[in-house]
Amino acid sequence: MKGRKDIAWKGVRKQRIDQWGHIKPIENDFLLNPLLLDIRGSGIERKEYYMADEIKKRKTPLLDELEEGPWPSFVTDLKKMAEKKPKANDLLGQLELSYKEKKGHWKHGGLVGVAGYGGGVIGRYSDSSELFPNVKAFHTCRVNQTSGWFYTTEALRELCDIWDKHGSGLTNVHGSTGDFVFLGADTDALEPCFSDLTKAGWDLGGSGSDMRTPSCCNGPARCEFACYDTLDMTYDITMTYQDELHRPAFVYKWKFKMAGCPNDCVASIARSDLAVIGTWRDNIRIDQSAVKEYLDKGLNITSDVIMKCPKQCISLDRNELRINNEDCVKCMHCLNVMPKALRPGKDKGATILIGGKAPIMEGALLSSVLVPFMKIEKPYTEFKDLIERIWEFWDEHGVSRERIGECIQRVGMGNFVEAIGLEPLPEMVSSPRDNPYIFYEEYLEEGEEEEE
Amino acid sequence: MSEHIEVGNKKIDVDEDGFIQKWEDWSKDIADYLAKTEGVNEMSKEHWVVVNYLREYYTQYKIAPMIRLLLKETGKRLGQEKAVSNKYLYELFPSGPAKGACKIAGLPKPTGCV
């Protein structure tokens, strides 16, 4: 047995040149090793190869490929963690097997949680736990992140210490919903972990058919373009809707994202059901002396700013920049190129957009305008009233697993807007009607006689 | 690699989350047993209202009802005019309607999304 293994590990030596011209010897190249070529059919070899308990370090030729190149690699992180955490070591093994067999080895679904909460923990079970006993259960915990992802180093250490104690030590910072994600816990570890988190003042985020953890951009904390306090609003919404966050009762998931300006650094338009994007309704503020400075420093305003304006509403008149604000579509290009000279107007607020989603049940959708301009001020009453009317409608008319965007497509924007009590506006039209066969209904008031 | 629980003298197959695998296996004793694993010490009248409704609904539609419907119907059966709150359901079943109540009622594991 030992002899056979030796042959297997020795493999055929060959050399390869990587993209920087370095010669790299490759040991145990999987494809060149006849003993390991077909592991799918032969249970014994597969087991020998992957049940590497006696071998401290797993052989992961395919995953090693992911470490090539100048970018940081999660494989490197996994290997580092694998030295001290058996869970991470087995995860490496299972992932290598997945690449080998071109097949995921997580079972579908899993339902675990902590008492009092319906969300925040996602169940994961391995279908190959006989090979990788330490990842038999590998649950995910979502921890509600801070607004704008600002942490002190103490806070980060605290989170990592809690996770080192209860889980695999592996984290995903941050997941695409925004949460600080803990990866890989046993079922028994969930309650103690949750209790340590809450003792330290943290809480779980959302999962399943609930309000997912709201997230936002850096906002006014770091950015001069922010048109409202994204950080405060996100915190306020999170605290107001704790019940919706922790106890799933919606027909499907609901995501909020707050972006401070139309640059939309959190990609709220694509990644949230309800996007709050900061904007202004007066004129872009221009500092003509700063414009002159840009000119003196050699910025070609005509080609880099004026020609790139999608609405062609900027002109340069004897070194004075003029903007026809009525035509401006808030693309942010000129502000981004000349941040010292141009600033958003003073009358700030946000545009509310609805319906964005990734393709899971149906195709992807981008959000479209629901409210062209809303003042965003504490305590956000106007916003919350609107949200609650939308939720009520969605609860009543949404079918199971239907995002709000799909629901609006099904019932029609006109019906939706009427049901939530908004006046229809031209801004709500996301694209002009392309069907030439338009049937205009005649609406007659009661008592009115048909004339012709 | 099947897991099982033992209630009385019967061995019953469950999945890794403790959901019973066969609808026919369910009995009141098993419900009592599963209740204890879900933090429900004693199945009260209110617990049974929820569990019985879940079973009736599943028998008819082969699917678990949506939470909203469950809240409404529970309220109605408890003789209230309004639907019960979601929070109330979590007070009855600490692990929630999907994990707790459905498991005790012997329904298949709801396929939640992440």
Neighbours of A356 (CB within 10 A): 24
Residue A122 Cα, gap to closest chain B Cα (Å): 6
SS3 state of residue A106: strand
B68 close to A81: Cβ distance less than 8 angstroms: no
Is pLDDT larger for residue A336 or for residue B81? A336
Has residue B45 got a pLDDT over 60? yes
How many pairs of residues across A and B have Cβ atoms under 8 Å apart?
67
For residue A85, the cross-strand partners are none
Q: Is A191 on the interface with B (CB under 8 A)?
A: no
- Quick one: DSSP state of residue A160? H
- What is the token pair recorded at A229? 């306090």
Smallest CA–CA distance from B108 into chain A, residue: A111
- Using a 10 angstrom Cβ sphere, with 0-12 exposed, 13-18 middle and 19 or more buried, the burial of residue A395 is middle
Angle CA B6–B9–B14, to nearest 5: 30
Going by C-alpha positions, the residue among A271, A209, A212, A256 that lies closest to residue A400 is: A209
**Helices A230-240 and A381-397, packing angle to 10 deg:** 50
Give the pLDDT mean for A402-424: 94
Euclidean distance between CA atoms A57 and A9, whole angstroms: 13
- Quick one: DSSP state of residue A253? -
Q: Are strands A256-259 and A274-280 parallel, antiparallel or unpaired?
A: parallel
| Residues A339-390 pLDDT 10s | 999 999 999 999 999 999 998 877 899 999 999 999 999 999 999 999 999 9
- What is the token pair recorded at A65? 């490929």
- What is the token pair recorded at A153? 């180093």
Asked if A110 and B17 come within 8 Å (Cβ–Cβ), the reply is: yes
A215 close to A222: Cβ distance less than 8 angstroms: no
B102 labelled catalytic? no
B47 close to B35: Cβ distance less than 8 angstroms: yes
A184 close to A92: Cβ distance less than 8 angstroms: no
- What is the token pair recorded at A290? 């700063």
Asked if B16 and A137 come within 8 Å (Cβ–Cβ), the reply is: yes
A283 close to A325: Cβ distance less than 8 angstroms: yes
Could you confirm whether domain B3-104 is CATH 1.10.10.370? yes
A29-43, A46-60, A410-424: least confident range: A29-43
Q: How confident is the model at residue B112 (pLDDT cuts 50, 70, 90)?
A: low
Q: What is the reported pLDDT for A18?
A: 55
Q: What is the reported pLDDT for A434?
A: 83
What is the C-alpha radius of gyration for chain A, rounded to an integer number of angstroms? 28
Has residue A431 got a pLDDT over 90? no
SS3 state of residue A41: coil
Has residue A411 got a pLDDT over 90? yes
Q: How confident is the model at residue A215 (pLDDT cuts 50, 70, 90)?
A: very high
| Residues A373-383 pLDDT 10s | 999 999 999 99
Euclidean distance between CA atoms A58 and A85, whole angstroms: 13
Has residue A90 got a pLDDT over 60? yes
| Residues A305-329 pLDDT 10s | 999 999 999 999 988 999 999 999 9
Euclidean distance between CA atoms A314 and B50, whole angstroms: 65
| Residues A60-88 pLDDT 10s | 999 999 999 899 999 999 999 998 899 99
Q: What is the reported pLDDT for A44?
A: 41
| B86 vs A contacts (CB less than 8 Å) | 243, 247, 249
Q: What is the reported pLDDT for B3?
A: 83
Going by C-alpha positions, the residue among A298, A296, A255, A259 that lies closest to residue A277 is: A259
Q: How confident is the model at residue A445 (pLDDT cuts 50, 70, 90)?
A: low
Q: Is B79 on the interface with A (CB under 8 A)?
A: no
Going by C-alpha positions, the residue among A368, A376, A375 that lies closest to residue A427 is: A368
Q: How confident is the model at residue A10 (pLDDT cuts 50, 70, 90)?
A: very low
Residue B70 Cα, gap to closest chain A Cα (Å): 10
Q: Residue B105: what are its φ and ψ, rounded to 5°?
A: -80, -5
Give the pLDDT mean for A219-225: 96
- Using a 10 angstrom Cβ sphere, with 0-12 exposed, 13-18 middle and 19 or more buried, the burial of residue A252 is buried
Smallest CA–CA distance from A394 into chain B, residue: B68
| Residues A96-148 pLDDT 10s | 999 999 999 999 878 899 999 999 999 999 999 999 999 999 999 999 999 99
Closest CB to A111 among B17, B86, B90:
B17
As a dihedral over the C-alpha atoms of residue A293, residue A298, residue A304, residue A306, rounded to 10 degrees, the angle is: 50
B83 close to B71: Cβ distance less than 8 angstroms: yes
For residue A16, the cross-strand partners are A24
| Residues A275-303 pLDDT 10s | 999 999 999 999 999 999 999 999 999 99
| Residues A236-285 pLDDT 10s | 999 999 999 999 999 999 999 999 999 999 999 999 999 999 999 999 99
Which CA distances in Å does A170 have to A136, A175, A188? 16, 13, 17
Q: What is the reported pLDDT for A17?
A: 54
- Of chain B, the percentage scoring pLDDT greater than 70 comes to 95
Range list of β-strands (E), A78-174 = 121-122, 139-143, 170-173
Q: What is the reported pLDDT for B107?
A: 93
Q: What is the reported pLDDT for A22?
A: 59
A352 close to A386: Cβ distance less than 8 angstroms: yes
A93 close to A58: Cβ distance less than 8 angstroms: yes
| A117 vs B contacts (CB less than 8 Å) | 90, 96
Q: How confident is the model at residue A47 (pLDDT cuts 50, 70, 90)?
A: very low
A22-36, A201-215, A293-307: least confident range: A22-36
Neighbours of A166 (CB within 10 A): 23
